[in-house]
Chain A
Amino acid sequence: MDNLENIAKEIRRDVIEMIFTAGSGHPGGSLSEIEILTALYFRIMKHDPENPAWSDRDRFILSKGHASPGFYAVLSKRGYFPRDEMWTFRKLGSRLQGHAHTGTPGVEMNSGSLGQGLSFAVGVALAANVDKKDYRVYALLGDGECDEGQIWEAAMSAAHYNLGNLTAFVDRNRIQNDRFTSEVMRLEPLAEKWSAFGWKVLEVDGHNIGQVLDAASAARNTRGCPTVIIAHTVKGKGVSFMENNPDFHGRAPNKDEYERALKELA
């Protein structure tokens, strides 16, 4: 576990470095998702960085596509593409686009328009059933993203088709683009909403890797219905002045902020 926590810290530094180098990007939601992604890619998922198209792999779908820096940093750390490529993020000709897309090794779907990833995940999970394969499907949603009606269309259909092979994480960092989620559009009671839609609901501290691993095991052992893991997180986690600060949803740190952030993450 110590090892995973160290990896998570290194990934946070890469996120800051990537967004500072690019001069734009979304640090807040990238920093809040790191433990979830680290747990998935370093422990939970069956996958092969040497063969991203392996047909029996578990699938991960980043629905909150703006949080691509956190995702790219994890993929690179896991060996999907060289470390140096991270510094091409958002630059012309790069495989690392502003929002996640399938041109990046290890990325399953295009995103950037909110609300679409869970439907895609439902399709992948249905395909597993049609093909009688036992791979699992994971999706990561933002909490602000749950304002999108399509999320709930997808949620209803996942329960209707008894997709026990599907697990969704909600990165409940309580901040969306403009402001706090409670100010923009009230989501609570969020757990009850998912439960009412027919999902098994688990809640964890999204920065506690042990809790994330335990919840993922519980999801794996659930039959007949999809599981949502509401991961309570801190937007901008790990950098004091980014934490709980809506200003860092979608802007890069300046030089001074960049240096202070790396010092805090040392």
Chain B
Amino acid sequence: MVTAFTTASTRQTFGETLVELGRENQDIVVLGGDLNKSTFANLFGREFPERFFDFGPAEQNIMGVAAGLAASRKSPFVTTFAVFGSCRPFDQIRVSIAQPHLNVKIVCTHAGIITGEDGMSAHSIEDLALMCSLPGFTVLAPADAVETVRAIRAAAETPGPFYIRLYRPATPIVHQDNGYDFKIGKAELMRRGKNDDVTIIAVGVGVSSSLQAASALAEEGTSCRVVNMHTLRPVDEGAILEAAKETGAIVTVEEHYIHGGLGSIVAQALGKGHPVPLEMVALDRYAESGTAEELLEKYHLTPEYIGKAVKAALARK
């Protein structure tokens, strides 16, 4: 049996949160690149036109301008699609933002392959690897719209450069709206049994599919712990090692390329601290046009494939 979730849009939630932040903090300025309807940054632009700047699709310039604003004690939020806010202007992010450690928040929507029909150029499957490679950057990938609000607010309250990864389609809600205490760098335990056989560490939409996989596996007698690794940098190594010690096997789940993302980060922590069998559910190539559901199925990112990875990990224990 598969758990059913209601869904909500992380990008719309982001746009609404940004407006609230704009009311609370006069220093917040927003920069967009001609995608402001899609990122919902236009909500901020409508209410605060004097603090909203569109640059057209000129992402290299946007990152440099954001750096100049941050150096002038503004709190810039850059919003665009994930491919255009990470891959495209990477050197500008590196030299103008990361190296001087400026207070720029890059919030990108349309991450991963669930962006769908636009095809591989629009599928951001390298962004986590790139952004996690920048010293001093904090990298957040909220699991749902509830967590998105917390992540955006936590970023606004924390000085320094951030990358936050959101989605195009509405995604499953895995948190109760009230009482969720989000902390940067502190992994969230989503599901835990008495004697878990394995831990699934997931990020972003991978969390809901991992919870679904865990439910299905429970009916077969396999007990899975599920951890939401919403912060990729700085990653919660303590939570990874605790899971490795207590359950003896790990499966990572991410809608990202298999190199450089969550799986690689977890492997690094395990290798240093407590090696155990590790299976990675991730993309191993560029995808193609299709619906989100079709792509997740074809590229083996569904709960069914997470279940297979769990079994593979258990077999290696």
Contacts and interface: CB of A to CB of B under 8 A. Distances in A.
Nearest to B99: A110
Given A110-B95, A110-B99, A124 B72 contact: yes
Given A119-B65, A130-B51, A154-B64, 7 more contacts: A108-B71, A109-B71, A119-B68, A119-B92, A120-B68, A126-B69, A127-B68
Contact of A153 (B29, B61, B71, B72): B61
A129 to B, nearest CB: 8
Interface of B: 29, 50-51, 53, 55-56, 58, 60-74, 76, 91-92, 94-96, 99-100
A127 B72 contact: yes
Contacts of A156: 56, 58
Contacts of A111: 95
A140 B240 CA distance: 48
Contacts of B95: 110-113, 116
Interface of A: 55, 101-102, 108-113, 115-128, 130-131, 149-150, 153-154, 156-157, 161
B50 A120 contact: no
Nearest to A151: B61
17 contacts: A101-B100, A102-B100, A110-B95, A113-B91, A116-B92, A116-B95, A122-B68, A123-B64, A123-B76, A124-B72, A125-B68, A126-B68, A127-B29, A130-B50, A130-B74, A131-B72, A157-B55
A122 B100 contact: no
B213 to A, nearest CB: 44
Contacts of A122: 61, 64-65, 68
Contact of B64 (A102, A130, A131, A150): A150
Highest count of chain A CB atoms <10 Å: which of B60, B61, B99, B100: B61
Nearest to B72: A127
Shortest 4 CB-CB contacts between residues of A and residues of B = A123-B68, A119-B64, A127-B72, A153-B61
A153 B94 CA distance: 18
A121 B69 CA distance: 9
Contacts of A120: 64-65, 67-68, 71, 96
Given A150-B92, A154-B61, A157-B55, A123 B72 contact: yes
